[in-house]
Chains A and B, each alone.
Chain A
Amino acid sequence: MYKILEKTQYSEKVFKFRVEAPQMAKKAQAGQFLMVRADERGERVPFTFANWNPDEGWVEFIFMVIGKTTEMLSTYKEGDSLMDVTGPLGNPTEMESGTWAVIGGGVGLAIAYPVARMLCESGHKVNVIMGARTKDLLLLTDQFRELPLEHLYITTDDGSEGEKGVVTLPLERMCQAKELDHVFAVGPVPMMKFSAMTCEKYDVPITASLNPIMVDGTGMCGCCRVEVDGETKFACVDGPDFDATKVDWNDLRARQASYRTEEGQALKAYEEETCPCHI
């Protein structure tokens, strides 16, 4: 069992857990993830390390409520325990020197934030582009603002916050001005895909952190397979970071959506089970 030492709520749907895991805290690196099985009947879901402390023996992850498991996790309180936490998994993000743009969209912002923070802490020049459909879907805005960034750009599709439009607008401007040595992107597939196309146009290297559905996270099941440069790769052991210009995005998108119907069913069953009208 892995005890939740601290629970932080950032907004209606965004939370951070600090979990007791002394050995994991010694090994975690930015860009790696852990997998949680909340209880006996739970599925295994991956979350990126948001922070860790080897001296105090804890790791943290930030999650957004989008379905059954994250909904259920949001009801866990400080002092409760998660049944299983496995990690660190995946390869650390490579942080070459130079000026970076970190792009995050939607839930991807939860993954972009620790990478941006880590880049700042290790002395890189960092720009962040936050993107969402609308203002309410932007996460961790205050946390990003606190980082010592070169620039923080915000774009929303409807213009309710920051610039109206998509993340590639500021990205393209920075590319044109030759301000960037590296780009890191994580978020919805279209966002990563168009960021990759923009970077390719200006010959700026771009890494995307891919988030396919996973089962074991150790390279055994093949569920997380992605097509990169015409080859089948396993996001959990070969990634999760890949050269974004080489990823087959249609493939990733289709596989991510494989269980839409079942995910809906699971959430519905959970809501019925926990609804107070059912007691």
Chain B
Amino acid sequence: MPYIDGKYKPSIGAPRTPAREEDPQVRATNFGPVDTGYTRDDAIAEANRCLDCKKPLCVTGCPVGINIPGFIEKIRQEKCGEGLDIIREASMLPSICGRVCPQENQCEGKCILGKKGEPVAIGQLERYLGDNARDKATDPVCRHKNEHKVAVVGSGPSGIACAGELARRCYDVTVFEAFFTGGGVLTYGIPEFRLPKEIVKREIEGLELMGVDFQYDSVVGRLVDADDLFEQGYEAIYLAVGAGLPKFLNIPGENLPGVFCANEYLTRVNLMKANNFPRYDTPTKHGKNVVVFGGGNVAMDAARTALRLGADHVTLAYRRGEEEMPARRAELHHAKQEGVEILPLVSPLEFKADDDGNVASVRLERMELGEPDASGRRRPVAIEGSEFEIPCDVAVTAIGTNANPFAKMVGDVKLNKWGYVETDENGQTSNPRIWAGGDIVTGAATVILAMGAGKKAAASIADKIGA
């Protein structure tokens, strides 16, 4: 019993409530959800582990400072609607962040219970509320729009967060999106088995109910630009166009058919439904031996997608060690469970073609970790004479992105030397009427940071143009 004489007694020493995961053998053959989420009993058991700290360290680890013990208490008391209200004060997208935040480096990484044992499963609990408490929470609908029009460019998490926050404050918001559907990376990048598209759709429908207008097929910078928008009466623009252009390895054979960059590989499946070809028109390659280059979430998603497209063997090749991989631990764990082979400390030298001109193998060399580089991580250096070759009929590179080239075409804003938009701490750019945030400011980062930036910019925009 967690409450004795009305006073909360946490379940000291109780083990962390395990996630409910589908059988790895089965799930690796379909695109259904891998982790089906906590039940009510799971959520309450896990909520009872939280110590309800006076100075909660977990909160310091959350980039948007969610009142974590506050919402966990509500789960315990089975007042889930109030719990969700608490989260929504800081975060618009609990169902999404609960699933995709790198919790081990953020909230859960700081949780006091993690010092000796396992931290509270904060992500799971947040997701539980996001998924189950919606009809019990306070409806954020605004009944009377004010006179001020704001344009949001890009419907990824940053754009969604900014639009939602502004709509809540009764601004008249239009989101312009280049694609035919919303969500940005949440839709075309992160696969269905990790983040069901139904959830992203639900968030966007929520915004529509709040009166936000979505204009799809609208490439801002080409179809309209900042001047057009100001002329149409928009008083402020929030630029959230994401990171954009993929980086390449710059090695021979990289343009061979069968060599993809992860954005293309994932977009074909997630957005264009190439897994249902020819019912859907967009095809993709179903490799037997697939090699993915990279060690982040993007690489994990590509590798696990390859398994689901029917690969016999998927290898994840990374320059550093498994420990250094920047991916969420849960994804690395899931990928290994499903049969992805991790090949650490290697670097590709060349892709080779078969007689038909398609990629057939990759030549690699082994690396060892040398002195720390500027980022503080030990730099991989090649081991001489260690070259070897492995077969691959599909290769996917997931080594990062460069700045979206449209940022400079939208309007006159100052960019840094890498092409990312410069802003102050409120997201204000060098142009007094344009704000920016998310990956186009920070470079490829996380959903929660992109969301936080959108929320902050919304407050600053509201400050500037008044109510």
Query: Do the beta carbons of B278 and A265 come within 8 Å of each other?
Result: yes
Judge whether B178 is part of the interface by a CB distance below 8 angstroms: yes
Query: Do the beta carbons of A84 and B277 come within 8 Å of each other?
Result: no
Contact residues in A for B406 (Cβ distance below 8 Å): 218-219
Query: Do the beta carbons of B281 and A266 come within 8 Å of each other?
Result: yes
Contact residues in A for B268 (Cβ distance below 8 Å): 215
Q: Which of A237, A254, A259 contacts B256 (CB 8 A)?
A: A254
Q: A1 to nearest B CB, angstroms?
A: 10
B253-268 vs A, CB cutoff 8 Å, 1 = contact: the mask equals: 0111110110110011
Q: A224 to nearest B CB, angstroms?
A: 9
What residue in chain A is nearest B286 (Cβ atoms)?
A262
Query: Do the beta carbons of B180 and A86 come within 8 Å of each other?
Result: yes
Bound-complex Cα distance A165 to B292 (A)? 46
Query: Do the beta carbons of B223 and A85 come within 8 Å of each other?
Result: no
Q: Which of A27, A216, A227, A237 contacts B267 (CB 8 A)?
A: A216
Judge whether B230 is part of the interface by a CB distance below 8 angstroms: no
B interface size (C-beta, 8 A): 42
What residue in chain B is nearest A218 (Cβ atoms)?
B178
Query: Do the beta carbons of B267 and A220 come within 8 Å of each other?
Result: yes
A245-279 vs B, CB cutoff 8 Å, 1 = contact: the mask equals: 00010010011011100110110011000000000
Query: Do the beta carbons of B223 and A43 come within 8 Å of each other?
Result: no
Query: Do the beta carbons of A37 and B180 come within 8 Å of each other?
Result: yes
Judge whether B78 is part of the interface by a CB distance below 8 angstroms: no
| A window 217-259: CB within 8 A of B | 218-223, 225, 227, 232, 234, 237, 248, 251, 254-255, 257-259
Q: A187 to nearest B CB, angstroms?
A: 21
Judge whether A173 is part of the interface by a CB distance below 8 angstroms: no
Bound-complex Cα distance A44 to B179 (A)? 10
Contact residues in A for B273 (Cβ distance below 8 Å): 41
Judge whether A24 is part of the interface by a CB distance below 8 angstroms: yes
Also in contact, A223 and B264, with CB within 8 A (given A37-B180, A85-B217): yes
Q: B179 to nearest A CB, angstroms?
A: 7
Query: Do the beta carbons of A222 and B277 come within 8 Å of each other?
Result: no
What residue in chain A is nearest B225 (Cβ atoms)?
A27
Also in contact, A259 and B281, with CB within 8 A (given A84-B216, A220-B245, A221-B263): no
| B window 398-452: CB within 8 A of A | 404-406
What residue in chain A is nearest B247 (Cβ atoms)?
A222
Contact residues in B for A88 (Cβ distance below 8 Å): 222-223
| B window 222-269: CB within 8 A of A | 222-224, 242, 244-246, 248, 250, 254-258, 260-261, 263-264, 267-268
Bound-complex Cα distance A216 to B285 (A)? 17
Judge whether A176 is part of the interface by a CB distance below 8 angstroms: no
Judge whether A23 is part of the interface by a CB distance below 8 angstroms: yes
Also in contact, A222 and B272, with CB within 8 A (given A251-B255, A259-B283, A263-B283): no
Q: Which of A83, A86, A223 contacts B178 (CB 8 A)?
A: A86
Judge whether A42 is part of the interface by a CB distance below 8 angstroms: yes
20 A-B pairs with CB atoms under 8 Å apart are A37-B180, A43-B282, A83-B180, A84-B216, A86-B178, A88-B222, A215-B264, A219-B405, A219-B406, A221-B261, A222-B246, A222-B248, A223-B264, A225-B255, A237-B245, A255-B255, A257-B357, A263-B283, A265-B278, A269-B278
Minimum-distance CB pairs A-B, first 6: A262-B283, A258-B257, A221-B264, A43-B281, A269-B278, A222-B261
Task: Give me 8 other A-B pairs in contact (C-beta within 8 A), A220-B267, A266-B278 excluded.
Answer: A27-B223, A27-B224, A43-B272, A218-B406, A222-B261, A222-B264, A254-B357, A269-B278
